Amino acid sequence: MPRRVLDGVLLLDKPLGLSSNDALIRAKRLYLAKKAGHTGTLDPLASGLLPLCFGEATKFSQDLLEADKTYEATMRLGIRTTTGDAEGEALETRDVVCDEPAVLKALAGFRGDIVQVPPMYSALKRDGKPLYEYARAGQVVEREARPVTIHVLELLACALPDVTFRVTCSKGTYVRTLAEDIGEALGCGAHLVALRRTAVGALTLEHAVTLDALSDADASARDAWLQPVDALLSTFPAVYLDEESARRFLHGQRLRLSELPQAANTTLDLPSDLPRVRVYTQDKRLLGVAKMIDGVLAPDRLVVTAS
């Protein structure tokens, strides 16, 4: 069947046991979409929110790669593994002698700005080769500690040796490593046994759909699950342009907002410098995103389908 030109965002609830790329391929096939991409991988052992971008939405997927993520995770104390999760082989077993107050105290020590050493079983590259390839060959290479931010870290359940917590963290955070480091702080080690992503930036599981539900739905029902392209941009301030200004914007011209008819009234309350704004016509058609520099709107990424 012919492929469709499709623009939008699908909030997928990825199942366990499936890679992010496999989930993308299945969704793309169901939608018969010409162009699609995902916004950051979830391991096969992780489930939860995987936003998929179709068509023009792929231009803005980087913004979600940069966004904070929220997870619900369960770690098992007392056992360290080769991979930091349940997929690896046990490296060491220790007695678990801590209690819930000790767990709460340990969690408090990992909130805020911290540093992590990336795990060997990760896709980070050294000399053009992913670290996991070195790990599978039995090699350990030196990794530099990297700063990350833990915005929220709260205990959800403590049924020792299992501890379930919720974490909201900056990009680049490895929850496996966080679990291992908390285990070391408790003196018994730990590994991750369950991980579910519940939010990416402002997007949540609330409106997500499973692959099974998509497979069972007809084409019109599947299309109804698609969010508009600007679902990825909801945290950016909005700027609205009159018809002539919109035409100039789509041609890549920089615009001084204070000199534009109709536009100034919609942007008087915005700072003169912003890293990203979403730009619309007066009838709320998305034109793209721009940077605001000294009150000048500088086009960044444009939506081709806008006219």
Residues identified as active-site: 43
What does the angle CA 100 – CA 105 – CA 107 come to, to the nearest 5 degrees? 95
Strands 255-256 and 274-281: unpaired
Output the CA torsion sign for 23, 172, 197, 233: negative
178 contacts 84 by C-beta, under 8 angstroms: no
3-class DSSP state for residue 95? coil
d(CA 191, CA 58): 34
The span from the CA of 165 to the CA of 190, in Å, is 13
**Helix 100-108 vs helix 175-185: crossing angle, to nearest 10:** 120
Please name the helix (run of DSSP H) or strand (run of DSSP E) that holds residue 150, with its range, or none.
Answer: strand 146-159
